Structure 1
Amino acid sequence: MSGEDRFTIAVGVDGSAESRIALEWAVTEARLRHGQIRAVTAWEYPPVTAGMEVMIWDPDIFESAARRIQTDALKGVDTEGVPFTGDVIQGAAASVLLHASQDVDLLVVGSRGHGGFTGLLLGSVSTQAVHHAFCPVVVVKTRPRAHGDG
C-alpha cells in the first residue's frame, strides 16, 4: 500500500448471519484505518446432475439474486464515512475471494457461510481463504449463545 492509497478491505458477503457480522467488523476496521470497503458476493450456476434434461440458464437471474443478497446484507449496516463498493462476480466463492485478495490489504470472511456442515469450526471458503489468500485474512466468528439464552 503506497502513501496515497487507502487501506482496502474486501469482505465476503453471502447473506448468512456470519457474513453480516464479518461485514460489520470490516466496516468498523475500515473506519479505524480511514480505509475503504469492497463487498464481494459470488454466484454460480446451480449444479446439474446427470440425467437431467438440458437447461438453458439465464445468468441475469443468478446475478440479480446475488445483488439482492448483497443489498439486503447492507441494510442496517452503518457505512457512513467509509468509501464502499460492491462487486457481484460469477464463480465459486473461494476462488472469487482469493482473486479479490490480490488487490486489497485485508480479506474478511465469516467463519461459516451457507454450507451444509454447520458443526465445523470453519467453512470450506474461510479455510481456503486462510490458506491461500494473497493478503492477511480475518475470520470473524459469531459468539456462541450462552445456555439458557432464548
Structure 2
Amino acid sequence: MRGQVVVGVDGSKSSLDAVAVAAREARLRGCGLRVVHAFIWPLMGVPLGPSPLGPPEGGLRNQAERLVAEAVEHARDAAADVTVTSAVVTGDALPVLEAESRRAELLVVGSRGLGGFSGLLVGSTAVHLSAHGGCPVLMVRGESDPTEPIVLGIDGSQAGDTAVEFAFAEAAFRGTGIIAVHAWTPWNVEVPSPQDPSTPYASEPGMPADGKERLLSGALAGRLERYPGVPVERTVVRGGARQALIEASRNAGLVVVGARGRGGFKGLLLGSVSQAMLHHAHCSVAVVRGPADTGDPLAARPADRWSWSSERSSD
C-alpha cells in the first residue's frame, strides 16, 4: 500500500505554498494527502477554549482548526481529485512531523514558518527534518516550476544512490528531465573497493575527465533502462559541489541531493552540500536519506512505497 504525502502547516504563507505543492505531489503519486498542524499550546498549560467574554469561535483550539481547514481548502484548489485528511496533533512541530515522516512517502514543508528568526534563509524545521526524517523531505521555496528539469547532485557514493532513485521517480511523475551534476576537485582521494563509508571522496586523485564521466555513468546505471521516458543531461564540473548545484538550481524545478555524501565529518546526519542547498538553492529542494541513515530499508524509495489528535477526512 502506498503511503501518504504529509505536509506540515502553521498558518504562514510558506506553509500554504507547501500545501499546494504537496497536493500536486500526492496527485502525481496517486495517493492521499495528510495536512498536519503541531499544536503546542496544550503543553504550555494555557486555556485552549474561547474566553467567557469573547466570541464562541475564539480560542487557541478553534484557531488551530481554522488554519488547518484553510490549508485543506488550499489543497483542494491545487488538486481537487486528491483525498485529503487533516490532523491537529499536540506537540512541538519537530517531533510531531518527524513521527509523521515514519509513515509517509514524502514529507513537504515550507522554507520558513512563523517561529524563525528574521533574516534566516531557511527555517530550523526544514533543516531538522532533512537530517532526522524517516522519508524524503521536500522543502518548498517560492514558485518553482514543476515542468523545469530536476537537478540531481551525484558524488558516486553508495549513500547517494537512494537520491538518484528518488530523482528518476520524481522526474517520471512530473514528466520532466534530469540534469545530473557531478562536481570534482583535484585533491580527491582514492576510495578502496568495495567502498568504505568512512572514506571521504568517491574519485581517485587526478582522475581524468573521462574517469569522471564513467563515475557519473555508473551512478546512473540501470535507471536509464527503468525510466526510458526521462531525458538526462550529464554535467561534470571541476569545482565545489555546493556552488555548482546552486548555480544549476537557477533554471530548475527541484534540486535533489542525498542527506550525506562522501565528504564531511563522520557522524553528522546532514552534510554540508545538502545544508547549502536548503539555504541557498534558487528552487525547491528534496533531501533524501539512505536506508543506513533511516534504519528503514524502504525509506527514500518513492518508486517502491514511496497525545490529543483531531482527525478529519475530505474527499
Give the CA deviation at 1:65. Answer: 2.4
Give the CA deviation at 1:116. Answer: 4.0
Aligned residues between the structures: 132
Query: 1:145, 1:68 → 2: CA distance?
Result: 30
1:145 to 2:295 alignment: yes
Give the CA deviation at 1:12. Answer: 0.4
Matched letter for residue 75 of structure 1: A
Secondary structure at 2:160 match in 1: helix
Q: Per-residue CA shift, 1:33-79, capped at 9, x if unaligned?
A: 111111000011217xxxxxxxxxxxx84422221110111112223
Query: 1:7, 1:28 → 2: CA distance?
Result: 15
Give the CA deviation at 1:123. Answer: 0.5
Q: Tell me if structure 2 keeps the 8 A contact 1:45–1:62.
A: no
Q: Tell me if structure 1 keeps the 8 A contact 2:160–2:290.
A: no
Matched letter for residue 120 of structure 1: L
Query: Which residue in 2 is equivalent to 1:136?
Result: 284
Matched letter for residue 152 of structure 2: V
Query: Percent of aligned positions with the same letter in both sequences?
Result: 40
Give the CA deviation at 1:31. Answer: 0.5
Moved over 4 A (4+): none
Matched letter for residue 88 of structure 1: V
Query: Which residue in 1 is equivalent to 2:235?
Result: 87
Q: Tell me if structure 2 keeps the 8 A contact 1:7–1:34.
A: no
Q: CA RMSD in A?
A: 2.2
Matched letter for residue 218 of structure 2: D
State the TM-score, normalizing by the size of structure 1: 0.80
Unaligned stretches of 5+ residues in structure 1:
48-59
Q: Which has the higher contact order (CA 8 A, sep 6+)?
A: 1
Query: 1:44, 1:95 → 2: CA distance?
Result: 12
Match of 2:173 among 32, 47, 58: 32
Q: Tell me if structure 2 keeps the 8 A contact 1:63–1:90.
A: no
Unaligned stretches of 5+ residues in structure 2:
1-142, 189-205, 297-315
Query: 2:295, 2:279 → 1: CA distance?
Result: 28
